[in-house]
Amino acid sequence: MKDLVAAALVAAKERGRDVADVPLTAIAATAGISRSTLLRRLGGSRAALDEAVRRAGVDPGGRPPVRERAIEAAARLVAERGLAGVTLDAVAVRADCSLPSLHTVFEGRDGLLAAVFERYSALPGLEALAADPPERLEDTVRALHAAFVAAFVDEPRIVPAVFADLLGRPDGPASRLMTANLPRLLDGFDRLLLPHVRAGRLRPLPTALLAQLLIGPLLNHVLMRPVLEPVLGAGLPSMDEAVEIFAEAYLRAVAVPAA
């Protein structure tokens, strides 16, 4: 049975799914046997395989996949405790899965945090925008601001936790996340901003600086807003108004005036 459990775990990992969600045909192929042979060795039902996988310390699933439960649980924990407070033990408890399951699916804590960042950071919104960019520079800038605001304020709020860890621990997991994803982030900005640079609508600055000028003031505002709101009250612009103000300021700073 050990060889069948191993084949089931390999097939599940290759597909990013729980063992219970992997067809027996795929498990048989991984084990190098036919489906009928697999069923015969299991006594005619996959229940024996699921139980053997469970005894090996891995949740066979049948509910939402371990991957989905773990990403959601880890994201909530990041929002509550920060990156430093997230352990695989805590995620396993919150996701109701085993530690071996997490290691099988994510290959460790960094892999799990990378999956959380992939889902809840600004990266998905940036790449979706780059795939179908607005024609006008002004609309592009406003859409970029809106995408990053959404990443900062939508629940679970993992982006503020990433920046807090980045500032507090320059060699911590947030630094590794940013380093790994920086090429994709810059590629998104390249696709959105470089056409306007080439057309003479934006100053020919390095993409990294164009991105920092766009995100930096907005990031500062969003991170400080929880402190500003109780003090300024109605005197603080709404988030939508603030986005418009920052977009106009960015355009004044880097847009080339029309001749």
Contact 7, 15 (CB under 8 A): no
Name the residue with higher pLDDT: 57 or 174.
Answer: 174
Same domain, 82 and 126: no
Q: Give yes or no for a cis peptide into 156 (omega within 30° of 0).
A: yes
Residues 94 and 193 in one domain: no
| In a shared domain, residues 235 and 136 | yes
Structure tokens at 52: 């053997």
In a domain, 9, yes or no: yes
Q: Let me know if residue 113 belongs to a domain.
A: no
Evaluate whether residue 116 is within a structural domain.
no
CA 251 to CA 101: how far, in whole Å? 49
Residue 202 phi, psi (nearest 5): -125, 145
DSSP for residue 43: T
Looking at the structure, do residues 46 and 74 belong to the same domain, yes or no? Answer: no
Residue 2 · residue 26 · CB < 8 Å? no
Tell me the CA distances in angstroms from 24 to 16, 33, 189, one per residue in order: 15, 11, 44
- pLDDT category at 100 given cuts 50, 70, 90 is confident
pLDDT band for position 104 (50/70/90)? Answer: confident
129 and 37 both lie in a single domain:
no
Residue 62: per-residue pLDDT: 63
> In this structure, are 154 and 248 located in the same domain?
yes
pLDDT of residue 55: 82
pLDDT level of residue 246 (50, 70, 90 thresholds): very high
65 three-class SS: coil
Q: Which residue carries 């892999």 as its tokens?
A: 111
Q: Please say whether the beta carbons of 147 and 121 come within 8 A.
A: no
149 and 237 housed in the same domain? yes
Helices (H) and strands (E) in the chain, counts: 14, 0
Please tell me the number of Cα atoms within 13 Å of 148 on its side-chain side.
24
Res. 259 pLDDT band, cuts 50 70 90: low
Residue pair 186/211 in contact by the 8 Å Cβ criterion: yes
- Give CA–CA dist 246/252, Å, rounded: 10
Q: The CATH number of the domain where 199 resides is what?
A: 1.10.357.10
Residue 224, in any domain of the structure:
yes
Q: Which domain holds residue 15?
A: 2-55
Confidence label for 63 from pLDDT (cuts 50, 70 and 90): low
Instruction: Answer yes or no: do 24 and 98 share one domain.
Output: no
Same domain, 131 and 246: yes
Sequence-distant (≥ 6) Cβ neighbours of residue 217 within 8 angstroms? 246, 249, 250
Q: What is the pLDDT at residue 2?
A: 84
The amino acid occupying position 214 is L
Examine the domain organization and report whether 80 and 170 are in the same domain: no
Cα–Cα distance, 200 to 202 (Å, whole number) = 6
In a domain, 148, yes or no: yes
- Assess whether 46 and 103 both reside in one domain: no
* Structural domains of the chain, count: 3
And the tokens for 151?
Answer: 């990443």
Positive/negative CA dihedral, 70, 75, 79, 85? positive
Do residues 135 and 206 both lie within one domain? yes
Q: How many angstroms separate the CA atoms of 56 and 98, rounded?
A: 10
At 11-42, the pLDDT tens digits run 888 888 888 878 888 888 998 988 888 888 88
